[in-house]
Amino acid sequence: MSDTLGNRTVDWTAIAVALAPVKVIDEPVLVKKRSRDFFWYSPILNAQLKECFGDLVACPATREEMAHCLAVAYANDLPVVLRGGGTGNYGQAVPLHGGLIIETTGMKRILEIGEGFVRVEAGALMADINAALKPEGWEMAMFPSTQDIATIGGFVAGGSAGIGSIANGALREPGNIIGLKALSVEAVPQEHLFEGEDALQIHHAWGLNGAITEVTLRTVPTRDWIGCMATFNTYRDAYAAGYALASSKTIGRKLCSTVDARIVDFFPRLDGHLRKGKDLLVALVPREDMDAYRALIAAQGGTVDLALTDAEREEKGIPHVFEFAYNHTTLQVLKADRSATYQQIGVPDASDVDAIATMAARQGDDVWQHHEFARLNGEVVAFDLPIIWFNDEARLCEIDATYEAAGFPVYDAHTYHVEGGGLKNADYRHLAWKKRMDPKGLLNPGKSRAWDLVRELSPEDIEAKAGEGQT
């Protein structure tokens, strides 16, 4: 088995032999499957990425095996894409230039659970981490709604916030990532420890600047969470109630999301459980605060349609409430109609209910609102992940421009460049560490536009650009 990589031919059979004893996958159908993530949410990314595939998948079970994979890649100048569960939305785990995919899911040990922290291998699934924490009285401070199939390494490298962020902030906030270890791509890969603030050098770098082997995360005391769904006559009312819950000083919550009634129509598994045609507030509230939660919903003009423990929910055959929040909302719509897509929009002032209603009116009928509330630097913030009925790129640009003109920043979900979406500008600290950890530039090539401009500079010169405020 040989294949061309750029303008050279690679003997992938020989590479597979060199990778031994690491397990490899070379069956073309399976390699293709592992070359995809959830980029197909975006019709633009789908057109750009659907024909991008890796050549071989390596499945290390230990950090020593991971180091061996990276050494083989270095020796043979192979592009490398780290892959956890492959649930990213922007093609983060798609090999643009072919090469070796390193799937981390075999590195899944939970190494230590202590007072307020958990130390795990990078390939551990977050649902497994939460399951291990619960009997010890803890839970993850936040996790994405994909916890059943997504890895902690993928979340730290590619994610930003999730269920729990309304209480505990974004991943990047101090104390949430306590530390991580990552391997360099060199003749003899070295494992580096990044603690506290330094973990941000690797966080959200999309696997461009090191292969994460281990993560230590903040945990919080577990609570008896009740999955709640309340309905309202207007989206305005649902949003106002969401903001009131999100900013409550007395009611605990680890999820607070509002969903336009037209989107709720795409949730068949909630049929018969919710009032028809109503706008929805999804929340997780601790049992001891349920009376206060019910009073808040009534005061805001809503009705609590569902309030279930996990056991009650399972008995009724209803998924977790968070599968109707974050990007699972988009997924529920896409399951029924692939012409939908979404966007990521910041809300300048989460308390300004009028601005939300004005924006709904200003955008056409092809934009349906869905807001997530979170806490950033101690402040309640909201962001919109609207369903957009895709017509063409020109209309998408017009929708983006309408948001931007009203001061709602757009974090473009339709780009595969790390600088294009959530990050907006180049992160030169990430790129300086890339130069240190990956001097040949083998990790996830093509995902950083800025890297191509600075790859010949020293790490110090790249880092200096951060101070210069260059983007």
Ligand X SMILES: Cc1cc2nc3c(=O)[nH]c(=O)nc-3n(C[C@H](O)[C@H](O)[C@H](O)COP(=O)(O)OP(=O)(O)OC[C@H]3O[C@@H](n4cnc5c(N)ncnc54)[C@H](O)[C@@H]3O)c2cc1C
Q: Cβ closer to ligand X: 81 or 230? A: 81
Q: At what angle do helices 428-437 and 459-468 cross, to 10 degrees?
A: 180
Q: Is 12 in the site for ligand X (CB under 6 A)?
A: no
Coil/strand/helix, residue 144: coil
Q: Is 300 in the site for ligand X (CB under 6 A)?
A: no
Q: Is 326 in the site for ligand X (CB under 6 A)?
A: yes
Q: Find the shortest distance in angstroms from Cβ 59 to ligand X.
A: 13
Q: Is 302 in the site for ligand X (CB under 6 A)?
A: no
Whether the CB-CB separation of 356 and 371 falls below 8 Å is answered with yes
Mark residues 151-190: x for contact with ligand X by CB under 6 A, - for none.
Answer: x-xxx-xxxxxx----------------------------
CA angle 108, 109, 113 (to 5 degrees): 130
The two three-digit tokens of residue 179, written as one number: 């530390």
Quick one: which of 104, 231, 343, 448 contacts ligand X (CB under 6 A)? 104
Report the residue number whose CB is nearest to ligand X. Answer: 154
Q: Cβ closer to ligand X: 353 or 431? A: 431
Q: Is 150 in the site for ligand X (CB under 6 A)?
A: yes
Residues 6+ apart with CB under 8 A from 1: 11, 12, 13, 16, 26
Q: Is 340 in the site for ligand X (CB under 6 A)?
A: no
Residues 440-469, interacting with ligand X (CB under 6 A): 444
Residues 6+ apart with CB under 8 A from 122: 84, 104, 107, 151, 152, 153, 156, 211, 212, 213, 214, 215
Q: Is 145 in the site for ligand X (CB under 6 A)?
A: yes
Residues 20-49, interacting with ligand X (CB under 6 A): 37-38
Whether the CB-CB separation of 75 and 121 falls below 8 Å is answered with no
Q: Is 211 in the site for ligand X (CB under 6 A)?
A: yes
Q: Cβ closer to ligand X: 24 or 296? A: 24
Quick one: which of 120, 166, 212, 297 contacts ligand X (CB under 6 A)? 212
Which range touches ligand X (CB under 6 A), out of 46-54, 236-244, 321-329, 383-391?
321-329
Which range touches ligand X (CB under 6 A), out of 188-196, 203-211, 246-254, 266-274?
203-211
With CB under 6 A, what is the number of residues at the site for ligand X?
Answer: 38
CA angle 89, 94, 95 (to 5 degrees): 160
Q: At what angle do helices 393-405 and 353-362 cross, to 10 degrees?
A: 150
Whether the CB-CB separation of 84 and 130 falls below 8 Å is answered with no
Q: Is 420 in the site for ligand X (CB under 6 A)?
A: no
Which range touches ligand X (CB under 6 A), out of 23-31, 284-292, 301-309, 327-335?
327-335
Residues 62-81, interacting with ligand X (CB under 6 A): 81
Residues 6+ apart with CB under 8 A from 167: 141, 220, 252, 253, 254, 375
Q: Cβ closer to ligand X: 138 or 194? A: 194
Where along the sequence are the contacts to ligand X (CB under 6 A)? Answer: 37-38, 81-89, 92-93, 104, 122, 144-146, 150-151, 153-155, 157-162, 206-207, 211-212, 326-328, 331, 444
